[in-house]
Amino acid sequence: MVEIVFLTPFITGIIAFFLPKAIGRSFLVGTGAIHLCLSLLLWKNRPEAFFKNYFAVTPEGLLSLLVISLLFFLISIYTISYLKESEIKSENIFTGSMLLFLSTMTMVTLSDHIMVMWIAIEATTLASAPLIFTYRTPAALEATWKYVLICSVGIAMALLGSVFITLAMDIGNVDAPLSFSALTEVAKEINPTWLKAGFVFILVGYGTKMGLAPMHTWLPDAHSEAPSPASALLSGVLLNCAYLGIFKTNKIMHAAGLGDFSGTILIVFGLMSILAAATFILKQNEYKRMLAYSSIENMGIIAFGTGIGGIGVYGAVICMIHHSLIKSSLFLSSGNILLGYGDRFIRNTGDMVRRMPKTFIAFFGGFAGISGFPPFGIFIGEMFIIVGAFRAGHYVAASIFILSLCVIFAGFANQAMKISFDDYKKGDPDKASHFKERASMVWPQFILLLTSLILCFYMPDTLYQTIIDAVTAIGGGLK
Amino acid sequence: MILNPVDTILSLVLLSVLFAFGASRIPGLIKVIAFQGIVVSIVPFFIGHEMALGGTVFTIATLIIRGIIIPMSIYIAIKKVAIKREVEPIVGFHASLLFGLGLIVAATYISRELNIPSVSDFTLLFPTAIALLVTGMFLLIARRNAIAMVIGYIMMENGIYLIGTTISVRARHIVEFGILLDILAGVMIMAIILQNIKQTFDDVDTANLRTLKE
């Protein structure tokens, strides 16, 4: 029964709303552990769903699911200590929403029906809005409002896209269930014009949620206002879930022989996102917003790679996995920085290397990983994408891509250096930081980074095979 | 050309779209979306697709939510928590009206080009749907008042609903899920109310929601 995987966190989430603090926290970790076990079982057995028309275990879904499970488990361990350190008023709402958020995202990865996918993605918006509003400040309210408004418009666009796909089926006289797998089989008979229209609207709709420019404006606010564990979830897995919606629709496009069309659009949106990130990251003065712009950049890279096709798609999936691992570790570290300095501006931090050595290692390692330094996976992913772009003859696009990556690296490096090595001007330098780096607040980051490192040198065969299975459907592969 | 009942009421919706472009105060806009919500949800009854029991229930639910509950809750919201009634345009009313007229012409032209077989009997269906969609987006972009933005969003939903319910039975099953979008609209209205309870000053100018930059 595939459905258990998302029903478990759903039920525990609802219970968590009514639980006192201490039990709620252990609930979070417990559900995380159970979820991880269930996902691993799913990997091993790959069973059929109970509602076959609506849910299915697909390779791309499995990849995202494993990332979600692993991240949530580690983040939940971090969250316990984070909740002890920070003052969050109604903690039961926070834990409950985290669990519901996990449940809805799991549902996205397992859904095979266009409308179930749509409902699940809408539900992620609903479940994550309270997380962004956790601190209840006017700025948090503004971020939540912006998030809900912009994402709702996106979701509405995706609904329109789904309507167009059914219209394409009607005009082509196709009678099939509205599931991604069934549509991929009959894709050739679907009316291409309306299928294209449907894809564009779905791309814009889910692209809003994924943080593709120019629909990305909610993302920096939401990520900077949410508590750090929630930001880690938002950035590490929510964006992937939205990408999954685009990925599956793209599968139909490729089966219908319209891969070039969807590829071109993805390349354009991808480049726009990378350029937008490069423009704005240079003058960010808050570290969490800087990380958020880096997420926009990485989503752009993933969209770009998917659009390139061939070896680029493989690179995009590699980037997706490693971005989740590294970026969530960075957001967790940013939570430590926030607790240690009590300030979200870069200018009010500094000298992290001596004040918080362990966090420094996690943060700097994450910085190296996310900007594409060799021992980490993003480097390999980006290499594949660049090679793929040159092979496919997208010389101009590839040059813009490389140039923007350099600019983003420069901007990011500048800020990371300031946080780590600048003198700490604001406070009393003799006074030791009151913030103690508990093991549970640094080890999750270390494990995430280590996983990323290990995956570069050794990738289990099942994992490799699953990635290959996922990317061949949209014209990718290691050839 | 003889107008059938669907086209007759849809022409009224097109007029209400123009009114929305020129409306300067929130109460007027609330009436517009209530009217559009009701019309849009009863149109499927006249189209002639067969309607199962489930479909009828959904349609009536949509009618109640879009036509009554949401407009009423916005109305109560602006009454209870003294919200500014002006829509605070970014684009002026004359320019908006001109845009609206151009939009209706363009929508009519485009729908003729698209030539969708299942709705060819109803001349105004597709133009109205497109007009609703774009008007909603326009209000989202060109009005600074948060309530006006929510109203724009609901208008957009109405447009999608009109397209979906009419082009085919299968599409109607899809847009019935659009009812879930109203939950999001509800969350937005709640956010506005919260915002106003928090603020000592009494307007929902989204310029106040703009301290976060970029």
pLDDT (tens digit, 9 = 90+) per residue, A59-73? Answer: 999 999 999 999 999
Compute the distance between CA of residue A325 and CA of residue A452 in angstroms, rounded to an integer.
6
Compute the distance between CA of residue A188 and CA of residue A199 in angstroms, rounded to an integer.
15
Mean pLDDT of A335-356: 87
Bridge partners for B89 per DSSP: B143
- pLDDT score at B205: 54
- pLDDT score at B85: 79
Please say if the pLDDT value at position A128 is more than 90. yes
Domain that holds residue B205: 5-209
Question: Residue A320: CA atoms inside 13 Å, Cβ hemisphere, count?
Answer: 32
Name the residue with higher pLDDT: B4 or B143.
B143
In a domain, B214, yes or no: no
How does B22-46 read in b/e, with b if 16+ C-beta sit within 10 Å? ebeebeebbbbbbbbbbbbbbbbee
Minimal CA–CA distance to A327: which of A300, A361, A298? Answer: A298
| Cβ B9 vs Cβ B43: under 8 Å | yes
Question: Six-digit token pair at B129?
Answer: 């749907």
Please say if the pLDDT value at position A122 is more than 60. yes
Query: Would you tell me how many other CB atoms lie within 10 Å of the CB of residue A94?
Result: 23
Structure ipTM: 0.89
Which has the minimum average pLDDT: A298-312, A436-450, B81-95, B186-200?
Answer: B186-200
- pLDDT score at A52: 85
The shortest C-alpha distance from A145 to chain B (Å) reads 6
Residues in B lying within 8 Å of A, measured between beta carbons: 116-118, 133, 137, 140, 146, 149-150, 153, 156-157, 160, 163-164, 167-168, 170-171, 174-175, 177-178, 180-181, 183-185, 187-188, 191-192, 194-195, 198-199, 209-212, 214
- pLDDT score at B197: 66
> Cα Rg for chain B, rounded, in angstroms?
17
User: Nearest Cβ partner of B157 from A126, A144, A156?
Assistant: A156
Cα→Cα distances A302→A264, A265, A423, B87, Å: 14, 13, 37, 40
User: Nearest Cβ partner of B168 from A143, A159, A170?
Assistant: A170
Mapped onto helix, strand or coil, the DSSP state of residue B117 is helix
- pLDDT score at B202: 45
- pLDDT score at B165: 83
Type and span of the H or E element at A176: none
- What's the structural domain count of chain B? 1
pLDDT-based confidence at residue B200 (cuts at 50, 70, 90): very low
Please say if the pLDDT value at position A456 is more than 50. yes
| Cβ A193 vs Cβ A293: under 8 Å | no
Mean pLDDT of B128-140: 93
Name the residue with higher pLDDT: A76 or B213.
A76
Q: Which chain A residues are within 8 Å of B188, Cβ to Cβ?
A: 145, 148-149, 152
Query: Would you tell me how many other CB atoms lie within 10 Å of the CB of residue B80?
Result: 11
Q: Tokens 């966190």 appear where?
A: A9
Minimal CA–CA distance to A148: which of A168, A122, A182, A176? Answer: A122
Listing DSSP states for A22-61 in one string gives HHHHHHHHHHHHHHHHHHHHHHHH-PPPSSTTTB---HHH
In a domain, B174, yes or no: yes
CB contact under 8 A, B191 and A144: yes
Contact of A176 with chain B, judged by CB distance below 8 Å, is answered with no
CB contact under 8 A, A167 and B174: no
Q: What is the mean pLDDT of chain A?
A: 91
In a domain, B118, yes or no: yes
- pLDDT score at B130: 92
Question: Over pLDDT 70: what percentage of chain A?
Answer: 98
| Cβ B136 vs Cβ B107: under 8 Å | no
pLDDT-based confidence at residue A410 (cuts at 50, 70, 90): very high
Question: Over pLDDT 90: what percentage of chain B?
Answer: 31
The shortest C-alpha distance from B102 to chain A (Å) reads 23
A437: left (phi over 0), alpha (psi -120 to 50) or beta: beta
Type and span of the H or E element at B131: helix B125-142
CB contact under 8 A, A126 and B184: yes
Sign of the Cα torsion B73, B79, B81, B86 reads positive
Contact of A162 with chain B, judged by CB distance below 8 Å, is answered with yes
Selection from A365-369, B85-89, B112-116, B187-191 with the highest mean pLDDT: A365-369
Mean pLDDT of B116-126: 77
pLDDT-based confidence at residue A249 (cuts at 50, 70, 90): very high
List, in order, residues 6 or more apart from B133 with CB less than 8 Å away. A160, B156, B159, B160, B163
Listing DSSP states for B64-107 in one string gives IIIIIIHHHHHHHHHHHTT---B--BSS-HHHHHHHHHHHHHHH
Q: What is the mean pLDDT of chain B?
A: 83
| Cβ A384 vs Cβ A312: under 8 Å | yes
Please say if the pLDDT value at position A434 is more than 90. no
Mean pLDDT of A197-201: 95
Please say if the pLDDT value at position B84 is more than 80. no
Type and span of the H or E element at A1: none
Name the residue with higher pLDDT: A42 or A426.
A42
Q: Tokens 């999001």 appear where?
A: B184
B1-47 per-position pLDDT tens digit? 556 788 888 899 999 999 999 888 899 999 999 999 999 888 888 87
Mean pLDDT of B63-71: 90
Compute the distance between CA of residue A131 and CA of residue A210 in angstroms, rounded to an integer.
18
pLDDT-based confidence at residue B206 (cuts at 50, 70, 90): low
A165-175 per-position pLDDT tens digit? 998 998 888 88
